[in-house]
Amino acid sequence: MRHCASRRQVFGALAGVSASAGASLLAACSSLALPTISRQPRATPTIAATPGPSPTPVPSLPLLPPARDLPGRLLVVADANIWLLERGHSTRLTPDRISRQPSWSHDGRKIAHSKLSTSGSDLWIMDADGSSSEQLTDNDSRDDPQQRNALHPIWWPDGSRLIYLSEEGSEDMQLWQLFIADRRRLRLLPPAGDRSGGLDWPKLAPDGRTLAVSSFQPGRGPAGRPQIWVYTLPSGGWRQLTSMPEGAYDPDWSPDGQRLAFVVRSTGRHDVWVMRADGSGLRQVTLAGTCRAPTWSPDGRWLAYLSAQTGTFELWATRAPADPDQTTTPPAASPFLQITRGALIDATSGIAWTG
């Protein structure tokens, strides 16, 4: 279970890593493009999976003035907790320091997330204000020597179920679904890329018909590099969208379902790109070389992303580019706005954005 163990090690990374640890995390990124998946030994920061109480709890996130200009509500994991950012104000939604990977329901009323435990991780949901927290899986109580995880939950459009990642019954992370009403769990799709690195970062198109992931399954391009793949539900088969020499990962759908934002690794640098839903119209967005987790604003006019260009991961945003011609020309000068400073955001939890 080497791949899963490495995924858990980095998933357990706290938001409060030092600048040097952040640099180590980026170094881990450079060897394979996906910090959450490891396929060869390398130096990574040693960070406890279940942190203890913070000696000095953070009362609010340090937000910069551009935060007031961002529409809607954003979720990030900082100081090892889930935080809500809205119009220049921040609110801590979880106090436990084990909550990760938040995801908004389509109506913006519920938040799904994963909680770490000593023997894996579980799915939980809560109201948009952090109240009414409810556990959906119980991997921690299983009488099983193998760790079990439920990671990266995303909502079905009608709110009746969650799609998530689990290594249950497989070597690497694969797609499962959980029906919220009765807690029934079923495999969503047959395993893809198992024993090669599996799947990561699932995102469902707004219409609920197409699933995007980063995957190591065999396809075009060098072996052992993740690429962006899509699957037309319920049984349309996998289709590869990217074939970047050093890999592509962290996909996110635009609100109209016409484009995808994602990260490309090239010469050891990691930057945000966009493309059309069919894989055409590639365009580079950022130039920092230390970026992860691009996320569209609800109105499609902004892209938020995480960047470690200041030493640790912080929240940044820029105007989303217009649908381009088919070109790979680097972007002209654009306003890249830093939203947080000293927030120490957990990159493996990404960003969630709703209206």
| CB 139 within 8 Å of CB 161 | no
Identify whether 234 is preceded by a cis peptide bond (ω within 30 of 0). yes
Collapsing DSSP states into helix, strand and coil, what is residue 23?
helix
In a domain, 155, yes or no: yes
What CATH number corresponds to the domain at position 315?
2.120.10.30
Give the Cα separation of 316 and 293 in Å (integer).
11
**Domain of 337?**
2-51+64-354
In a domain, 100, yes or no: yes
**Alpha carbon separation from 316 to 286, 295, 341 (Å, rounded):** 10, 10, 10
Contacts for 98 with CB less than 8 Å, ≥ 6 apart: 50, 51, 80, 115, 116, 117
Number of domains within the chain: 1
Whose tokens are 């690429």? That residue is 227
In a domain, 129, yes or no: yes
pLDDT classification of 196: cutoffs 50, 70, 90: confident
Q: What is the dihedral of CA 95, 306, 260, 27, to 10 degrees?
A: -110
- State residue 332's pLDDT score: 53
What H or E segment, with its residue span, contains residue 78?
strand 73-78
pLDDT classification of 56: cutoffs 50, 70, 90: low
In a domain, 59, yes or no: no
Give the Cα separation of 38 and 16 in Å (integer).
22
Of the candidates 200, 235, 238, 227, the residue with the CA atom closest to the CA atom of residue 350: 200
DSSP label of 290? B
Position with higher pLDDT, 41 vs 169: 169
pLDDT classification of 119: cutoffs 50, 70, 90: confident
